[in-house]
Structures are given as structure tokens and as C-alpha cells.
Structure 1
Amino acid sequence: MTLQTRPGHSNRPDPAAHIKLVVSDMDGTLLTPQKQVTHHTLNAITALRHAGVPVCLVSSRPASGIEMYLEALKLDTPYGALNGGSIFNPDRSLRSQLTLPTDIVQEALGLLQGHNIDAWLFRGHEWVITNAASPYVEPESRAIKQTPNIVPSFKTMLAGVGKITASSSNYDAITQQEAEIGALLKGRACVAQSAPFYLDITPLNANKGYALHQLADFYGIAPHEVACLGDMNNDLPMFKAAGMAIAMGQATQTVKDQAHFVTAANTAEGWSKAVTEYILPRAAKAD
């Protein structure tokens, strides 16, 4: 079989027997490492549509980075940006939005600056940076098809922040800051890696589990009727909320341990294989 059951030391309930909605991460999951969508993935989405099962995207990306794929994927469903802190309707209008308190923004920026780690702010549809020479600015700009607003200081940009992203080519530093900043902001904000080189700081309830609940509510179904797919620590809140959680093959062991099933990597059609082997057999026609 393509997929593997979870290791068994997780105390998760058994996977749901009936699935009415799929909620998926994008980078490292739905997309290839080259940020492309394969024809196998498109066929799997079509098969889900015929089975009456919508597909919704939830990503750490800003809205523009999600919307650029909707037409190619033929999706007219709601979606969650900034790790689920901003939920958009199918017509791309804003449904709900959570933002960080300004004191937490200041504290987080101070911590990152103290470790010489670049920080980016996402405010609504705006992406704000202070260091244009950061190694990840140019590839991120290509990936989300958005040009950042370069400012000399974040001093006047502290309000309305939906996400702070720390970026560094020092992967160990990002992992260390996930633990340190996570501990310092525990109970006040969500802190999780969205890639080996990115650390996201979002409002306390702005996580993919919150987004999954919002999207399930949009369709009038229960969270246990939702299947989700992901590969990074920021996907774990939706793993916990969903009735079926599927980890990508290249995911960390921590993520795999919290999944019901492990599929192939995103380099080997893991998304479409997961849909074919585990979701479609459990698809229940939506009312």
C-alpha cells in the first residue's frame, strides 16, 4: 500500500469513517518543491468534487499567495491565510480576521532582533520588511507573486498584524527560537515553524485548527467529518481537530506521530495518493 498507518504511540481516536470535507496545507503538501500542481493532484481534486467533497486550502501564505492557485485548481471554496488567522469567502471577501496585540508584536520583534533573525510583518494584504537583502525575500516574492513594502523601521507598523514571520538560513536557530519564543509567548500567541527556514508567530487562536473549525462550520459539518493533510508543526492544530490527519512522507517524525496515516512525499505524488487510497473510500456525499 502507498500509505502507512501511524506509529501507534499516539492516543488519537481511529480515523473517521465518513469524510465530507478536505482541508489541505499548500507548501510541502499540495504543491511540489517547485511550487507546482501536478495533473495527478488535479485529477484527485476532480474526483473529490464528483464525490461531493469540497477541498479548502489553509496556509501560512498571505491571501495573494493562495489566490494565485485557485483558478488552476478550479477551487471556488473558502480558504484560510496566515495560518488560519484570516478566513476568506469563496468570492475572496474577508470572512474573519485575527490580529496580534501591538505589545506582543513589539516583544516578538525585540526577541528576533536580539538573535539577528530577519522578521517580516503581514498586515491584511500587505507584506512589510526592513531588510531587502534577506536571502528569502526574493524567493518568497516569486512564490506568492507579491512585492514587499520595504520600510526603515517597523515602528509605525505594529497595529493590524496578522502574522510575524522569522526567516533564517540557520535552521537550528529557527528551531531554537520556536522553543524559546514559544515558551515566552505561551498562552498569548501561536508560535510554529511553517518551513525549516520560517517561524510564524500568529494570534493565539490563529492556527490551522481554528481555520478547520471555521471551514467546517461554513459547510455545516462537524470537524470529525474533515480530512486534513500537512507536513509541518504549524499543521498539528488541524491534525488534532480533524477526523482524519494525513502526514506527508517528508514530514518530521513529530508530525508523523500525530497523523492517522503517512503518505508519500510531495516529490512522489503523496497528496493524490492519500486522496485515492484513504479519503475517497470514506467520502460521503455532501447534503
Structure 2
Amino acid sequence: NPDFSIVEQRLMPLDAAREAVGVFRANRIDCWVFAGNAWLILNPAGSHVVHETRTVQTPPTIVPAFTDEHLAAAGKIVGPNDDYDLIARLAAQLQEALGGRANVARSQPYYCDVVAPGIDKGRLVTLLAQRLQVPAQEIMVLGDMENDLEMFRVAGFAVAMGNAADAVKRAAQAVTLSNDEDGFATAIERHVFGD
């Protein structure tokens, strides 16, 4: 909602949240827990904390440990790390280990996201379309990572960013400039306003 109140949320099972945090910690990754409107971290000097703070324009809440209360309220757990191969391996390992108890995806080459089962960007587009009473076929989406493919399948028009993975570009109806080249604005101007 405009006031940032939560419209709907799906939480991970507590055992899946515990296991995800355990895997990240075992691999020396300072993970984050998103619970309600709170972004919880253990290490303010951890990987990508400064970058994410600028991106979301909200400071994290530093906690001494992730408690069961935190994990029971977790909508998302993120493992950030600049070792892209490690993040890819952990994403596959976590998806296999967690099975149907969670959905695992890489939202950036350096982020491994763990969310509730059945939750992905395609589901979000479907829910928003229903809530706003807009046919999904009239929705345009933009993406650059493989976790965007589900919303590409649901929306009427999919645009890949210029920096997108090849699989994402192949799945899109159009490709725009990269994030750094204002590709989002370019896509809106071209495909929404017809400029």
C-alpha cells in the first residue's frame, strides 16, 4: 500500500528459514532476514549492506542473532556474496535441500534469495493484476535475471534489460539498454509512451 503497510505476505516455514540461515552461515555468508517491514542483519560491515541501504533507502536493523521469532516472520532470506560461483552453488544446494519448503533464486549474480514456497515474480504479477483489476496481458514487465522469467511468462509484454542474462533476453519480446544506461526509462518511453 502507499503507506507501506503489507497487503499480503507468505512466510517461510520456520525449519526452512533455520536451514537456509545455517547453510549461509556455514559458508561464511552474512545473510539478511526480511521480516515484515524490517531488514535484519548481523554484520553492518557485511557484503553489500552499504549498496542495499542506498538501493532501498532504509537502514537495516542490526541484531545480535536471528531468533526463532525473526525466522518465523521471515518473508525472505538473502545471502549476499561477490563469489558468484559460490552463490550459484548455494542456490542449487538450497533448492535441493529445501525442496518444496521454499523457493530459491538468484535476484542478482551476488544475491541468493530464499522465499516461501510458490512465491516468485510471476505470482506477484498475477496477484497485482487481480488486485488492480488489470488483465495480466496488459502488463509490461522488465527484468535482467533468471528469477524474472516467471513474470515474463505471465505478463503481456516482457522487456529484458541490456545487461540481462542471455536466457532472459531470449524470453523477452524486447531488449532495452542496460541498467546503467537508463534502460528502464528508455523502455517506458518506447513501449508505454511510444516515443
TM-score, length of structure 1 as denominator length: 0.62
Alpha-carbon RMSD across the aligned residues, in angstroms, is: 1.8
- The unaligned stretches of length 5 or more in structure 2 are none
- Corresponding residue of 1:275: 188
Contact 2:161/2:179 (<8 A) preserved: yes
Question: 1:78-119, CA deviations, whole angstroms, 9 ceiling, x for partnerless residues?
Answer: xxxxxxxxxxx2443321111111010011111112222221
Instruction: State whether structure 2 residue 178 is matched by structure 1 residue 238.
Output: no
Aligned residues: 193
Instruction: State whether structure 2 residue 167 is matched by structure 1 residue 254.
Output: yes
- Corresponding residue of 2:63: 151
State which of 112, 123, 133 in structure 2 corresponds to 1:199: 112
- In 2: Cα distance, 1:91 partner to 1:175 partner: 35
TM-score, length of structure 2 as denominator length: 0.89
Mapping of residues 1-287 of structure 1, within 5 Å: 89-156=1-68, 157-281=70-194
1:216 deviates by 0.8
**% identical equivalent positions:** 39
3-state secondary structure, aligned to 2:158: strand
3-state secondary structure, aligned to 1:238: helix
Range with bigger deviation, 267-276 or 119-128: 267-276
Question: 1:188-215, CA deviations, whole angstroms, 9 ceiling, x for partnerless residues?
Answer: 2121111121111111133211111111
1:275 deviates by 2.6
3-state secondary structure, aligned to 1:267: helix
3-state secondary structure, aligned to 2:134: coil
Range with bigger deviation, 145-154 or 172-181: 145-154
The AA in structure 2 aligned to 1:159 is A
Contact 2:6/2:36 (<8 A) preserved: no
The AA in structure 2 aligned to 1:132 is P
The AA in structure 2 aligned to 1:93 is S
Greater RCO structure (CA 8 Å; 6+ sep): 1
3-state secondary structure, aligned to 1:141: helix
- In 2: Cα distance, 1:267 partner to 1:130 partner: 30
3-state secondary structure, aligned to 1:163: strand
Range with bigger deviation, 216-225 or 117-126: 216-225
Structure with the greater alpha carbon radius of gyration: 1
- In 2: Cα distance, 1:177 partner to 1:128 partner: 21
1:231 deviates by 1.0
- In 1: Cα distance, 2:4 partner to 2:77 partner: 22
Contact 2:40/2:61 (<8 A) preserved: yes
The AA in structure 1 aligned to 2:131 is F
Question: 1:203-255, CA deviations, whole angstroms, 9 ceiling, x for partnerless residues?
Answer: 11332111111111122122122111111222222111111111001011121
